[in-house]
Amino acid sequence: MRRAILIAGLCATAAVLVAGAMKADGISDRARKLHFSSIVVDTHDDTTQRFLDGNNFDLGPRDANGSIDIPRMKEGNLSAIFFSIWMPSKITGPDAVKRALDQIDAVREQIRKHPEALVLATTVGEVREIHREGKIAALMGVEGGHMIASDLGVLRTYAALGVRYMTLTHSGNSEWADSSTATAEHNGLSPFGKDVVREMNRLGMIVDISHVSDKTFYDVLETSKAPVFASHSSCRAICDAARNMTDQMIKDLAAKGGVIQINYHVGFLSQEFRDAEKANPQIEKDIQAEVHKRCGENEACQLIEGDNVVRDFVKAGKLPRVDYTKIIEHIDHAVKLVGADHVGLGSDFDGAMMPFGMEDASNLPKITEALLQKGYSESDVRKILGENTLRVMAEVERVSHDLSHASPR
């Protein structure tokens, strides 16, 4: 390992020395070649909210706002994107189901509108085929178990419509699982919650443990027959947020073949940022007031403008600046802890406050460049960019296949 890093380090130095190999944007030819020949997967993007906010947002043209559209995905070689189906935890029952179906339809409509660029993918095989065709694979994840209204038929319907993971809770507890950001009421997963996990295994949906309480996480790990992932969580060892994972959790997740997909949200990346927010509660209120002024109750707007407002506050010196290199620190921490097979990318684009230098999907090659600079092997970089996530998906598919054929009745 040490030798590999040394050699890679020498290579990186050599690359820097050869001026011609480095483009003006700071991405070396080697990194560019590696990045653009890899399948880059992002497991969490809140862009879906923009489809439904009444402004007819379309993925086709380049947008001045937000982080995701087809031109910028192509520029950053974001090859497979999980559009998040999300609404606040307080919406439950049939209303939640209806709203989730509307969002799923909105994603599918974007795919229908852009057949030249976007293709719905529900399997690893499809993701690879779509990538070969030079198109972007569109996938879906449901962010919060409250959206199934305690009904396995609804869960199965989401799967039938192409949803490939479900986060068991959002910020509030669901009827059957505790969240990391609410008072525990189920002691983790309820018996029905365990049935949900088993049905997800059977359906070939990845169980997503981002957002859930530590106890829920361990209950899931014990119940699930397939590896699970954290679609958008970072490391508590670097930034102590309940939404992030402890080193022990990351180790236990990895031991079962899972992946932690690093979230780029500054409040999950940087302890300094978190502390500054905590030290001055007025800042949070001011941010919210400004966002409300710009957006009213429009949730898509709130997500996008939240990012803009925080950026303004940082520029005004009210909050510490967080750079995209913090993402690399989290990736490197997880790699040092459990190796390069258990970490991936779960940006939270269009749903969180992005660090400087990672404003949108076009900046993704910087991650490849930074990891190569750190001496990561090309094979490890490919894994982090997407192959690890695809491996988990493939394993989930295999378990689903086995379960479906074992007990048809």
Partner 1 sequence: MRWTRPLLFACSLGLVCTAARVVTADDIAERARKLHFSSIVLDTHDDTTQRFFSKAGFDMAQRHTDGHIDIPRMREGGMNAIFFSIWIDGRIMGPPAVQKAIDQIDAVHQMVRKDPKDLAFCRTAAEVREAHKQGKIAVLMGVEGGHMIGNDIRVLRTFGDLGVRYMTLSHFYNDEWADSSTDKPAHNGLTDFGKDIVREMNRQGIMVDISHVSDKTFYDALEVSKAPLIASHSSCRAICNHARDMSDDMIKALAAKGGVIQINYEKSFIDQAYKDAYDKASGGVVEAMNKVTKECNGDEECVINKVQALQKQMEDSGQLPPVSWERIIEHIDHVVKLVGADHVGLGSDFDGATMPTGMEDCTKLPKITEALMRKGYSDSDLRNILGGNLLRVMEANEKVSKEMQASH
Which positions lie near partner 1, rule CB under 8 A? 93-95, 97-98, 101-102, 104-106, 108-109, 112-113, 149, 151, 153-154, 156-157, 160-161, 404, 408-409
- Composition of the chain by helix, strand, coil, percent to 5: 50, 15, 35
Cβ of residue 401: shortest distance to partner 1, in angstroms? 13
Cβ of residue 151: shortest distance to partner 1, in angstroms? 7
Strand-pairing partners, residue 249, are: none
Give all strands (DSSP E) within 111-268, no chain letters.
118-120, 136-143, 163-167, 206-208, 229-230, 259-262
Each as own residue / partner, the long-range contacts of residues 284-288 (CB below 8 Å, 24 or more positions apart, any chain) are 286/313, 287/313
Residues in the chain: 409
The CA distance from 30 to 377, in Å, is: 12
User: By the 8 A CB rule, do 57 and 110 touch?
Assistant: no
- DSSP letter, residue 361: G
- DSSP letter, residue 258: -
Distance of CA 58 to the CA centre of its chain: 21
Cβ of residue 114: shortest distance to partner 1, in angstroms? 11
Query: What burial class does residue 131 get, using C-beta atoms within 10 Å of its C-beta: 0-12 exposed, 13-18 middle, 19+ buried?
Result: buried
Compare residues 94 and 296 and give the one whose CB is closer to partner 1. Answer: 94
Compare residues 108 and 292 and give the one whose CB is closer to partner 1. Answer: 108
Cβ of residue 322: shortest distance to partner 1, in angstroms? 38
Cβ of residue 408: shortest distance to partner 1, in angstroms? 6
Compare residues 98 and 293 and give the one whose CB is closer to partner 1. Answer: 98
Cβ of residue 57: shortest distance to partner 1, in angstroms? 15
Q: Tell me the CA end-to-end span of the chain in Å, nearest whole number.
A: 49
Residue 51's nearest CA partner among 285, 300, 220 is 300
Cβ of residue 156: shortest distance to partner 1, in angstroms? 5
* Token code pair at residue 382: 């490919």
